Amino acid sequence: MAQRYHKNPEALAALSPEQYRVTQRDGTERAFTGEYWDNHEPGIYVDVVSGEPLFASVDKFDSGTGWPSFTRPIETGPGGANVVTRRDFRLLVPRTEVRSAHGDSHLGHVFKDGPRSAGGLRYCINSASLRFIGFDDLEAQGYGEYRRLFEAVEKGDDMGDSEEPEADRAFSTSKKAVLAGGCFWGMQDLIR
């Protein structure tokens, strides 16, 4: 039987003020302050409110922005997508907002400046909207079906976390400049 996810009142009541501001008031946490921006452990990230699976560590990469960045959601396609997008016109530069499908939590934004070899998208996500479930805890917490993602990587199957060609290594070989506006303000469009 498929798991049903929804906005859970008990989970809402347990949110920290920052988690509530981000997920329910469409806020953005400050760069380099979130719990998961630099997490490299194998596992999945679920909606802190509904528990729906959103992203996997096999699709996470270091974008240099200070927010967890992923190349794709854990589930895609009709009937399986737990991540939805909508246009966001709250700033001068229109952006694409990312929300959880069942919990309706604000997660962050998606941009078209991710690794080309993985589709070119960068899901820039707030740590405050996520709960991390480590690989060893997947089964116990009811997410055992996602162990397959990590088993495929161990066998050498390409799950989007493969070594990128030289042209796509801009994040790891370029010089670093800290831009205070970050992806929240659409600053990346100004420096392209």
Provide the greatest CA pair distance for the chain. Answer: 49
Tell me, what's the pLDDT at 185? 57
Which CATH number goes with the domain that contains 177?
2.170.150.20
pLDDT digits (tens, 9 = 90+) for 71-119: 999 987 666 689 999 998 887 788 899 999 999 999 999 999 999 999 9
Is 97 in contact with 106 (CB distance < 8 Å)? yes
- Rounded Cα–Cα distance for residues 60 and 122 (Å): 9
Neighbours of 10 (CB within 10 A): 7
Q: Please spell the DSSP secondary structure of 56-117, one letter per residue.
A: EGGGEE--SSSS-EESS-SS-STTT--EEEEEE-SSSS-EEEEEETTT--EEEEEES-S-GG
Whether 18 is covered by a domain: the verdict is: yes
pLDDT digits (tens, 9 = 90+) for 116-143: 999 999 999 999 999 999 999 999 999 9
pLDDT at residue 47 greater than cutoff 90: yes
Whether 178 is covered by a domain: the verdict is: yes
Q: Which residues are designated catalytic?
A: 124
Whether 83 is covered by a domain: the verdict is: yes
- Rounded Cα–Cα distance for residues 37 and 57 (Å): 11
Mean pLDDT taken over the chain: 84
Structural domain count of the chain:
1
Whether 66 is covered by a domain: the verdict is: yes
Domain enclosing residue 21, as ranges: 9-189
